[in-house]
Amino acid sequence: MIRPGKIVCVGRNYLEHAKELGNEVPKEPLLFLKPPSSVIGMNESITLPSQSKQVEYEGEIGIRIGKRIFHATEGEARAAIGGIVAVNDVTARDLQKSDGQWTRAKGVDTFCPIGPVGIPPDNLDTLTVVTRVNGVERQRGVAADMAFHIPMLLAYITTIMTLEPGDLVATGTPAGVGKLAAGDVVEVEVLGLSLISNSVAAG
Ligand code: ZN
Protein backbone atom coordinates (compact mmCIF):
# COMPACT_ATOMS: atom_id res chain seq x y z
CA MET A 1 0.00 0.00 0.00
CA ILE A 2 1.43 3.37 -1.02
CA ARG A 3 0.90 5.86 1.80
CA PRO A 4 -1.76 8.45 0.86
CA GLY A 5 -0.89 12.15 0.90
CA LYS A 6 -3.94 12.71 3.07
CA ILE A 7 -6.85 10.70 4.43
CA VAL A 8 -10.21 12.46 4.44
CA CYS A 9 -12.91 10.72 6.46
CA VAL A 10 -16.66 11.13 6.70
CA GLY A 11 -18.48 10.78 10.04
CA ARG A 12 -22.04 9.54 10.55
CA ASN A 13 -22.78 8.68 6.93
CA TYR A 14 -25.11 5.75 7.70
CA LEU A 15 -28.32 6.41 9.66
CA GLU A 16 -28.15 3.19 11.70
CA HIS A 17 -24.57 3.88 12.82
CA ALA A 18 -25.35 7.50 13.76
CA LYS A 19 -28.25 6.19 15.88
CA GLU A 20 -26.22 3.48 17.66
CA LEU A 21 -23.92 6.19 19.07
CA GLY A 22 -26.84 8.49 19.91
CA ASN A 23 -26.24 10.89 17.02
CA GLU A 24 -28.22 12.12 14.02
CA VAL A 25 -27.06 12.08 10.43
CA PRO A 26 -25.69 15.61 9.85
CA LYS A 27 -27.28 17.97 7.32
CA GLU A 28 -23.99 18.20 5.43
CA PRO A 29 -21.15 15.65 5.35
CA LEU A 30 -19.06 15.74 8.55
CA LEU A 31 -15.37 15.66 7.58
CA PHE A 32 -12.23 14.90 9.56
CA LEU A 33 -8.67 13.82 8.77
CA LYS A 34 -6.49 10.91 9.78
CA PRO A 35 -2.71 11.38 9.50
CA PRO A 36 -0.81 9.33 6.89
CA SER A 37 1.40 8.07 9.74
CA SER A 38 -1.57 5.99 10.99
CA VAL A 39 -1.51 3.73 7.89
CA ILE A 40 -0.60 0.06 8.14
CA GLY A 41 -0.89 -2.80 5.66
CA MET A 42 -1.78 -6.47 5.58
CA ASN A 43 -1.00 -8.47 8.74
CA GLU A 44 0.60 -5.57 10.59
CA SER A 45 -0.68 -5.14 14.15
CA ILE A 46 -3.08 -2.51 15.43
CA THR A 47 -1.49 -1.32 18.68
CA LEU A 48 -3.79 -0.36 21.56
CA PRO A 49 -2.55 2.93 23.08
CA SER A 50 -2.26 3.19 26.87
CA GLN A 51 -4.46 6.34 26.86
CA SER A 52 -7.59 4.45 25.75
CA LYS A 53 -9.73 1.71 27.27
CA GLN A 54 -12.12 1.49 24.31
CA VAL A 55 -10.56 1.04 20.89
CA GLU A 56 -13.13 0.13 18.22
CA TYR A 57 -13.07 -1.03 14.60
CA GLU A 58 -14.93 0.89 11.86
CA GLY A 59 -15.02 -0.99 8.57
CA GLU A 60 -15.36 1.39 5.62
CA ILE A 61 -15.38 1.64 1.85
CA GLY A 62 -12.30 3.65 0.85
CA ILE A 63 -11.88 5.62 -2.35
CA ARG A 64 -8.41 6.02 -3.78
CA ILE A 65 -8.20 9.22 -5.85
CA GLY A 66 -6.71 8.82 -9.32
CA LYS A 67 -6.87 12.36 -10.65
CA ARG A 68 -6.44 15.85 -9.18
CA ILE A 69 -9.83 17.52 -8.61
CA PHE A 70 -10.92 20.84 -7.10
CA HIS A 71 -14.43 22.33 -7.20
CA ALA A 72 -15.47 19.19 -9.08
CA THR A 73 -18.95 18.32 -10.26
CA GLU A 74 -20.29 14.92 -9.19
CA GLY A 75 -19.51 13.63 -12.69
CA GLU A 76 -15.92 14.88 -12.51
CA ALA A 77 -15.60 13.38 -9.02
CA ARG A 78 -16.87 10.00 -10.26
CA ALA A 79 -14.30 10.07 -13.07
CA ALA A 80 -11.49 10.83 -10.61
CA ILE A 81 -11.95 7.59 -8.65
CA GLY A 82 -8.78 5.55 -9.10
CA GLY A 83 -9.72 2.51 -7.05
CA ILE A 84 -11.60 1.00 -4.13
CA VAL A 85 -9.92 -0.10 -0.89
CA ALA A 86 -11.04 -1.65 2.39
CA VAL A 87 -10.30 0.70 5.28
CA ASN A 88 -10.48 0.20 9.03
CA ASP A 89 -10.99 3.64 10.64
CA VAL A 90 -9.82 2.44 14.05
CA THR A 91 -11.08 4.80 16.76
CA ALA A 92 -10.43 5.30 20.47
CA ARG A 93 -14.11 5.85 21.28
CA ASP A 94 -13.49 7.09 24.84
CA LEU A 95 -11.01 9.72 23.63
CA GLN A 96 -13.38 10.72 20.81
CA LYS A 97 -16.02 11.49 23.44
CA SER A 98 -13.75 13.21 25.97
CA ASP A 99 -11.69 15.31 23.52
CA GLY A 100 -14.50 16.96 21.55
CA GLN A 101 -12.42 16.87 18.38
CA TRP A 102 -11.02 13.67 17.00
CA THR A 103 -7.32 14.08 16.24
CA ARG A 104 -6.14 11.90 19.12
CA ALA A 105 -8.97 9.36 18.89
CA LYS A 106 -8.48 8.74 15.18
CA GLY A 107 -4.81 9.59 14.69
CA VAL A 108 -2.88 6.95 16.65
CA ASP A 109 -0.14 5.12 14.72
CA THR A 110 -1.55 1.82 13.29
CA PHE A 111 -5.16 3.15 13.36
CA CYS A 112 -5.61 3.12 9.57
CA PRO A 113 -5.27 -0.36 8.05
CA ILE A 114 -5.76 -0.14 4.26
CA GLY A 115 -6.25 -3.05 1.83
CA PRO A 116 -5.04 -3.45 -1.76
CA VAL A 117 -6.62 -1.36 -4.53
CA GLY A 118 -9.58 -2.90 -6.40
CA ILE A 119 -11.24 -1.77 -9.62
CA PRO A 120 -14.36 0.42 -9.09
CA PRO A 121 -17.63 -1.24 -10.22
CA ASP A 122 -19.88 0.51 -12.77
CA ASN A 123 -22.54 0.97 -10.08
CA LEU A 124 -20.94 2.36 -6.91
CA ASP A 125 -24.18 1.77 -4.95
CA THR A 126 -23.47 -1.99 -5.01
CA LEU A 127 -20.24 -1.62 -3.00
CA THR A 128 -20.58 -3.68 0.17
CA VAL A 129 -18.32 -3.54 3.23
CA VAL A 130 -18.14 -6.35 5.78
CA THR A 131 -16.20 -6.39 9.07
CA ARG A 132 -15.31 -9.63 10.84
CA VAL A 133 -13.71 -10.02 14.28
CA ASN A 134 -12.14 -13.43 14.91
CA GLY A 135 -14.07 -14.71 11.89
CA VAL A 136 -17.50 -13.51 13.10
CA GLU A 137 -19.34 -10.94 10.97
CA ARG A 138 -19.98 -7.72 12.94
CA GLN A 139 -20.79 -5.10 10.29
CA ARG A 140 -22.30 -5.15 6.81
CA GLY A 141 -23.07 -1.97 4.90
CA VAL A 142 -24.04 -1.17 1.34
CA ALA A 143 -23.10 2.10 -0.36
CA ALA A 144 -26.73 2.52 -1.47
CA ASP A 145 -27.59 3.14 2.21
CA MET A 146 -25.18 6.05 2.66
CA ALA A 147 -26.72 9.37 3.67
CA PHE A 148 -24.33 11.11 1.24
CA HIS A 149 -23.33 9.09 -1.80
CA ILE A 150 -19.77 8.73 -3.02
CA PRO A 151 -19.66 11.20 -5.96
CA MET A 152 -21.47 13.81 -3.83
CA LEU A 153 -18.99 13.28 -0.97
CA LEU A 154 -15.97 13.67 -3.25
CA ALA A 155 -17.41 16.78 -4.89
CA TYR A 156 -18.26 18.21 -1.46
CA ILE A 157 -14.70 17.65 -0.19
CA THR A 158 -13.35 19.52 -3.21
CA THR A 159 -15.33 22.62 -2.24
CA ILE A 160 -12.83 22.76 0.67
CA MET A 161 -9.60 21.13 -0.50
CA THR A 162 -7.94 19.72 -3.59
CA LEU A 163 -8.01 15.94 -3.83
CA GLU A 164 -4.78 14.64 -5.33
CA PRO A 165 -3.75 11.30 -6.84
CA GLY A 166 -3.12 8.81 -4.04
CA ASP A 167 -5.33 10.58 -1.51
CA LEU A 168 -7.78 8.36 0.35
CA VAL A 169 -11.40 9.12 1.23
CA ALA A 170 -12.99 6.89 3.90
CA THR A 171 -16.73 7.08 3.37
CA GLY A 172 -18.07 6.30 6.87
CA THR A 173 -18.92 3.17 8.80
CA PRO A 174 -22.22 1.25 8.96
CA ALA A 175 -23.83 0.06 12.22
CA GLY A 176 -22.22 -2.61 14.39
CA VAL A 177 -19.04 -0.93 15.64
CA GLY A 178 -17.49 -2.60 18.67
CA LYS A 179 -14.49 -2.93 20.90
CA LEU A 180 -11.21 -4.63 20.05
CA ALA A 181 -9.03 -6.48 22.54
CA ALA A 182 -5.43 -7.63 22.37
CA GLY A 183 -5.27 -10.94 20.49
CA ASP A 184 -8.27 -10.21 18.24
CA VAL A 185 -7.98 -10.49 14.47
CA VAL A 186 -10.07 -7.89 12.64
CA GLU A 187 -10.81 -8.06 8.94
CA VAL A 188 -12.49 -5.49 6.70
CA GLU A 189 -13.54 -6.51 3.20
CA VAL A 190 -15.11 -4.54 0.37
CA LEU A 191 -16.67 -7.64 -1.13
CA GLY A 192 -14.79 -8.96 -4.12
CA LEU A 193 -12.44 -5.97 -4.31
CA SER A 194 -10.21 -5.44 -1.26
CA LEU A 195 -9.50 -7.16 2.05
CA ILE A 196 -7.39 -6.04 5.01
CA SER A 197 -6.70 -8.27 8.01
CA ASN A 198 -4.83 -7.23 11.16
CA SER A 199 -4.21 -8.58 14.61
CA VAL A 200 -4.56 -6.40 17.70
CA ALA A 201 -1.66 -5.97 20.13
CA ALA A 202 -1.40 -4.39 23.57
CA GLY A 203 0.54 -1.09 23.57
ZN1 ZN B 1 -15.11 6.18 10.44
DSSP string spanning 157-192? HTTTS-B-TT-EEE----S--EE--TT-EEEEEETT
pLDDT for 12-68, tens place per residue?
999 888 888 888 888 999 999 999 999 999 999 999 999 999 999 999 999 999 999
Please give the backbone phi and psi of residue 8, each rounded to the nearest 5 degrees, phi first: -100, 125
CA of 90 to the centre of ligand 1 (A): 7
CA of 170 to the centre of ligand 1 (A): 7
pLDDT value of position 17: 85
Q: Strands 7-11 and 30-34, how do they pair? A: antiparallel
CA of 77 to the centre of ligand 1 (A): 21
Share of the chain above pLDDT 90, in %: 91
pLDDT for 95-134, tens place per residue?
999 998 999 999 999 999 999 999 999 999 999 999 999 9
CA of 119 to the centre of ligand 1 (A): 22
pLDDT value of position 40: 97
Nearest by Cα to 169 from 95, 119, 112: 112
Is the pTM for the entire model greater than 0.85?
yes
Q: What angle do CA 65, 114, 202 make, to 5 degrees?
A: 150
